[in-house]
A and B are shown apart, each in its own frame.
Chain A
Amino acid sequence: MFNWLHPYAKTERAYALCNTLLPYFFVTAVVGLLVGFIWGLAFAPSDYQQGDSFRIIYIHVPSAILSMSTYVAMAIAGFVGLVWQWKTAYMSMIAIAPVGAILTFISLFTGAAWGKPMWGTWWIWDARLTAQLILFFLYLGVLALYGAFSDKTQAGKSAAIMALVGVINIPIIHYSVEWWNTLHQGATITKFGKPSIAPSMLWPLLISIAGMVGLIGTLVMMNLKNQILRRELHRPWVIALLQKTENR
């Protein structure tokens, strides 16, 4: 079933794949973020209730939604590593983790900056906010656990188990606004049915999300390339690659 994936267990093939994908992610990031942010921050109409303050949504929502998707991607990489014991899977997992941690931090920070003028508080121990904070700690936990072992196979195994256990937090974050009485409002676009946002505001938001996906992809690919090179420094293909770059 997964036979097409097997070649990428080899670091050389994975490195080549990163190089192929990188330009596409990079272009998506530049175009999506420029168009989405300029449209959203300057040209989209202001909100009837919140005025111009709502514009922080164009940074808050992409980072918050994608911090969860990134976590799932990281956990899947960890799962593949555990079951098939590929080191490229562990490398991808650890390449994704810092990007996800920063996204989560951005979502918490912009959320606080949005909450102060609108709700009247920077922080409240509301189910949604608390679950998102736990997500941030989970990312840091995965990174710390991976860094704590000098044997990188052992490190990958432990970090992958932590990442997998933490997946339970993802549905909790998503449904927290329905299960409990939260100050945070319900889902606007990640729900079944029509999004409760005017189309003139929705389009720049979707474009910003696409741009953010591109940015995450770019950063993860670059990080993964570095991980591979650092681990495989003495392999013939890496030495050949280094000589080629030096000769250029």
Chain B
Amino acid sequence: MNPRRKQRLITVGVIGGMVAGAISLMLFALNDNIDLFYTPSEIIDGKGKAAVKPQVGQRLRIGGMVVEGSVQRNQETLAVEFDLVDIGPIVTVSYTGILPDLFREGQGIVATGVLQEGNLIVAEEVLAKHDEEYMPPELAEKLKGIKHVKPADAAITKAAPSY
């Protein structure tokens, strides 16, 4: 390789390395602040080593599993209330609006809202989270014991009067 090419190679390499370094440092510094994300146990016991608890009235995002049997729908309006759990403590979320298709009991969800007294979160947005696993329904039933029920079917069976 002739000296001029070598010099250009080094210059490009050094500039690239410096930019990469600067951006990694920036992201590293931002790491703690990039999201206001809490789990139910972090809301009650505090987050991180310093155990920082969120303030009442603070806007935050919360992620957890919907507790089975905790979903209460208002019959007249779109209001719905449910409990979220991760490893123990339970937080209640209330929301008015249309829930995503994947919202079911036992499903992981992410909600954005304002923290109120008594570990209640009034949510403006509820989003369903799914994992990276894809499999046919028969396999899911065999592996995990998950029975595939389409949300529409489930609603009909629940709403149907018992004869």
- Which chain A residues have a beta carbon within 8 Å of chain B's beta carbons? 45-51, 53-54, 57, 79, 82-85, 117-121, 124, 127, 161, 164-165, 167-168, 172, 179-181, 183, 185-188, 196-198, 200-201
Chain B residue at minimal CB-CB distance from A44? B136
> Contacts A121-B125, A200-B136; is A183 near B110 (CB within 8 Å)?
yes
Interface size of B in residues (CB-CB distance below 8 Å): 44
**B136 pairs with A185, CB closer than 8 A:** no
Counting CB contacts under 8 A, is B159 at the interface?
Answer: no
- On whether A118 and B63 interact (CB within 8 A), knowing A50-B102, A181-B35, the answer reads no
A172 B27 Cβ-Cβ under 8 A = yes
* Residues of the B chain whose Cβ atoms lie less than 8 Å from the Cβ of A124: 127
User: Within the assembled complex, what's the spacing in Å between the Cα atoms of A188 and B133?
Assistant: 7
Determine the chain A residues whose CB is within 8 A of the CB of B103 once the complex forms: 120
- With both beta carbons as reference points, the residue of chain A lying nearest to B133 in the complex is identified as A196
Q: Do B127 and A164 touch (CB < 8 A)?
A: no
Tell me if A197 and B134 are in contact (CB < 8 A): yes
Tell yes or no: B89 within 8 A of A by CB: no
Decide: B102 and A168 in contact? CB cutoff 8 A: no
Q: Establish whether residues B129 and A183, one from each chain, have CB atoms under 8 Å apart when the complex forms.
A: yes
- Given A83-B12, A118-B101, A119-B102, check contact A47 B34 (CB 8 Å): no
Of all chain B residues, the one with the shortest Cβ separation from A75 is B16
Q: In the complex where A83-B9, A83-B12 touch, is A201 in contact with B130 (Cβ < 8 A)?
A: no
Q: Which residue of B lies closest to A167 (CB)?
A: B16
Q: Is the beta-carbon distance between A198 and B139 smaller than 8 angstroms?
A: yes
Known: A48-B139, A168-B19, A181-B35. Is A186-B132 also a contact (CB below 8 A)?
yes
Contacts of B130 in A (CB 8 A): 49-50, 118, 185
Q: Interface of B with A (CB < 8 Å)?
A: 5, 8-9, 12, 15-16, 19-20, 23-24, 27, 31, 34-35, 37, 61, 63, 98-103, 110, 125-141, 146, 148, 150
Q: CA–CA, A201 to B135, complex, Å?
A: 7
Contact status of A120 and B146, CB under 8 A, knowing A47-B136, A197-B134: no
Nearest to B4 among chain A residues (CB) is A85
> Contacts A48-B146, A57-B134, A119-B100: A183 and B16 contacting too (C-beta < 8 A)?
no
Are A46 and B136 within 8 A (Cβ)? yes
Name 7 A/B residue pairs within 8 A (Cβ), A-sorted: A47-B134, A83-B9, A117-B101, A121-B127, A185-B129, A196-B131, A198-B136
Q: Name which of B24, B98, B129 has the most chain A CB atoms within 10 A of its CB.
A: B129
Contacts A181-B37, A183-B129 aside, 14 further interface pairs with beta carbons under 8 A come to A48-B139, A48-B148, A53-B101, A83-B12, A117-B101, A120-B102, A165-B15, A167-B16, A168-B24, A172-B27, A180-B34, A181-B35, A201-B135, A201-B136
Leading 3 A-B pairs by shortest Cβ distance: A120-B100, A48-B140, A45-B136
* Contact present for B133 and A197 (CB under 8 Å): yes
B140: chain A residues at CB < 8 Å are: 48-49
Do A198 and B134 form a contact, CB below 8 Å, given A50-B102, A117-B101? yes
Minimum CB–CB distance from A101 to chain B (whole Å) comes to 22
Are B128 and A120 closer than 8 Å at their CB atoms? yes
Known: A50-B102, A57-B134, A196-B132. A82 touches B12 (CB 8 A): yes
